[in-house]
Amino acid sequence: MRKLKYILSSLIIIFLVVITIYTGFRLAFRNLILPKVYIAGLDMTGMDRVSGLKLTNNYFGAQPSKITLEYKGKKITNLDGIKTTYDLAWAVDQAMGVGRNGNILTQISEEIKTLIDGRIIEVPVSYSKDELADMIGQISDSINQKPSWPKIIKEGDNFKLVPGKNGEEINTDLLNNQIVKEFGLPGIHVIQVPTTVVETKENPDLVKNAITSLEKWQNKQPKLHFRDFERKLSSSELINLFGLVSDPIDQESFEALVANIKTSVEVEPKDAVFIFEENKVNEFKPEVVGATIDIPKLRTGLASYLAEGEDAQFEIPVILAYPKVKTGDINNLGIKELIGSGKSTFFHSIPGRVFNVNLAASRVNGTLVAPGEEFSFINTIGDISRATGYQSAYIISGGRTVLGDGGGVCQVSTTTFRAALNAGLPITERKAHAYRVGYYEQDSPPGIDATVFYPSADFKFLNDTGNYILIQETVDTKNLSMKVDIYGTSDGRKSTVSKPRISNQSAPPATMYVDDPTLPAGTIKQIDWAAWGAKVSFDYKVEKNGESIYEKTFVSNYQPWQAIYMRGTGEAASR
């Protein structure tokens, strides 16, 4: 018993000592950066914000980053012409925040991990991506050596091989990543330009099979067809389609052929079109069955067809896409009246964002959702990128506001979300934004937004009305507003949305400036406003004949966000 008391007493003493030491540690560093926290290799231990900014400014000012590129041990250029700007204030704020995020257990865990492993803060660097891409392009032009691929030529009635010659090309992605990494570190850096050899050694079996097949095609002409379309292959096209290195089909010639026939073969599916005005459908057009070339089947099928050398047509394989609504279905859709509306404004949006809002809305506009079908915003508009027509605007990525393809699409998903709530439809998937975006609180309380990010974050609702519903979206680009109307057949349901409840608020961090090459140098334009972090929730209830048929509480956890300004880095405006 005495031994047990001794052990307990010892444990209590040890616990008190540990608590005392930890409390002293917390007090000593309550306004200072923790030990083993580094910014770009610079030890920030014990610094407050002011001294940390002074130290990092002196550190980067005394030895700015100077990068030289070498190829095979010889200097080819330096990057002095590319101006870089460091966000040292952000880096110091991040260093100050180590061990101060979350609850006490999270803070203790982060402190211990930092003391053991250290914490390295990378400095955000702003630079002209276009200038860097141009420079890498110029270097590639001077160093790259195009390969000479093996080919077959015809001499008289015979075919013979002309061997290829290896090429060399810069690994541009690797070089770009190395340069960007060194941008964030002061001092002198030498980068050896990474290159790869482009192998062109022919495969003897492929060469033999190609010559055998070409001999079968003597005095015959391959023909491709689909529906009323027919495409004959010339002698040179036929020869070039045979792959001689790693695949029976030459990739470059195959892609050229696909590009040539694509517009003649492919067609988008089209529903039976109708215009809904004044509670009636007053115009319609017959449906169109869509077709898309099945590239994998075309590749393998064409390889077999060319190898056989038979005088027959090759049918281009396609993937058919049937319209959801046929002409005969028009009168059975049950679209009779307006059942829900949503609206929003987006004042202060840059031109690229306005363009994207209008484009995304046009792709949702006219969408029909069948009874029992789940509407998916992402599936409706597809890929959100420059390749699908979107322009560059500001998006949330990696915890920062940056220029990216499709900024503004969330204005459309948010407005569609509001219309679905008003229509009393079950919401099956919805994600809030990372922070309280000013656009969505211009004419609405906080918490009633829906973010989308292709392909991972989607907005979905279920059509449980028993009839088709039609989504119509209109955008007023002059007054920077939009409206979403949902038409269908009312079954008497009514929806209510409670006043949002706001809790757990936290102050926004320091103001952020973002370089924008589309604005003249010296121009400052605010594109986001400081927002307090908060937990926001509201109740959504749908009733029918006095009974509740659907209830859900939506919860949004917004992180604090700073005011954000665009800082022009383009050419100065003419006077």
DSSP string, 445-504: -TT-----BTTTB--EEE--SSS-EEEEEEEETTTTEEEEEEEE---S-EEEEPPPEEEE
* Residue 428 reports pLDDT greater than 50: yes
Structure confidence at residue 132 as a pLDDT band (50, 70, 90): confident
> What does the pLDDT look like over 223-274, one tens digit per residue?
999 988 899 999 899 999 999 999 999 999 999 999 999 999 999 888 876 6
Task: State the CATH architecture for 204-329.
Answer: Roll (3.10)
> What does the pLDDT look like over 478-537, one tens digit per residue?
999 999 999 888 999 999 999 999 999 999 888 888 888 888 888 888 877 788 899 999
Q: Distance between CA atoms of 461 and 230, rounded to whole angstroms?
A: 44
> What does the pLDDT look like over 365-403, one tens digit per residue?
888 898 999 999 999 998 888 888 988 776 765 555 556
Q: Distance between CA atoms of 55 and 264, rounded to whole angstroms?
A: 65
pLDDT at site 96 = 87
* Residue 553 reports pLDDT greater than 90: yes
- Among the listed residues 275, 54, 67, the one whose alpha carbon sits nearest the alpha carbon of residue 175: 67
Structure confidence at residue 329 as a pLDDT band (50, 70, 90): low
pLDDT at site 541 = 97
Q: In what order do the strands lie in the sheet with 37-39?
A: 42-43, 37-39, 119-121
Structure confidence at residue 284 as a pLDDT band (50, 70, 90): very low
Q: Whose structure tokens read 């509001």?
A: 418
Q: Distance between CA atoms of 122 and 98, rounded to whole angstroms?
A: 13
> What does the pLDDT look like over 316-328, one tens digit per residue?
999 999 887 765 5
pTM of the model: 0.46
pLDDT at site 280 = 38
* Residue 410 reports pLDDT greater than 80: yes
> What does the pLDDT look like over 191-205, one tens digit per residue?
899 999 988 899 899
346 close to 338: Cβ distance less than 8 angstroms: no
Q: Distance between CA atoms of 105 and 117, rounded to whole angstroms?
A: 18
In terms of average pLDDT, the best of 9-18, 382-391, 415-424, 487-496 is 415-424
426 close to 541: Cβ distance less than 8 angstroms: no
Q: Distance between CA atoms of 417 and 450, rounded to whole angstroms?
A: 7
pLDDT at site 1 = 67
